[in-house]
Amino acid sequence: MAKVIVIDPGHGGLDPGAVGNGLQEKDVTLAIAQRASYFLRQYGADVRLTRAGDRTFSTDKHADLNARAEFANNAQAAYFVSIHINAGGGSGFESYVMTGMADEEAGRRQNIMHREVAEAFEKAGLPDRGKKTANFAVLRLTNMPAILLECGFIDRDEDATLLRNRTFIDSIAEAIARGAAKAMGIFSSPLVDNPSPNQPQVISKYYKDITPGMEWAAASVDKLFERGIMRGDGQGNFRPFDKMTRLEAAVALNHAIEYVLKQLGR
């Protein structure tokens, strides 16, 4: 049975997280998490996202953080990776494990994960701010080894320019996937760049069930994802042949309206 890894895109819904340079933390963390989950599944991991769209478990911050940890605990996850974007002065990448856990299994995995992600930041010219510890709720309340990643500073021009660059987002997502796979001991198989003839070729940047024969729609599906209008199931599937419920239609239409209004500056 594949090991369950929970990826937690920080913030969401009415909680934008840090804001700066036209970016919102909740959007960037979700983009990184979706791509990291795509890469990590290629190592054979069972990846679950605490959120697959612009939502939270609760509008109450305390309840939301508790629910994210509970989600991972209920999934009996083997690893919990929370993704955030920093603010408040500074630049670069830093990682956190629970206070007192630096010499435990969480600390061992932090060493591996931090090395992979820090290298991706350094290649882009951003500094490694180091491995740290903190008493964050999602680190304290999860039953499995957990890590929180602060991936750049949204209020610094140089960091923000990279955070809106798809190639940079992919490099960070790949590093997170590689770090998690190494930390979990499932890195023996490389990323599947050339699937075997028995495996459907994936033609979407985000969904494994968008396959040959769907080329006419693949770019539109990816654009809807990038604009936050339609999301998949959080497990790397778009479900292209499923019927849309009235609830799902309402959410998609609302996201589309919000996107248009945002472009108009309203």
Catalytic site positions: 150
- Torsional sign, CA 110, 34, 38, 223: negative
Could you tell me which of 232, 231, 230, 228 has the C-alpha nearest to residue 262?
A: 228
Instruction: Tell how far CA 45 is from the center of its chain.
Output: 15
Strand partners, 130: 94
Angle between helices 105-123 and 166-184 (to 10 degrees): 150
DSSP string, 76-104: T-SEEEEEEEE-SS--SEEEEEETT-TTS
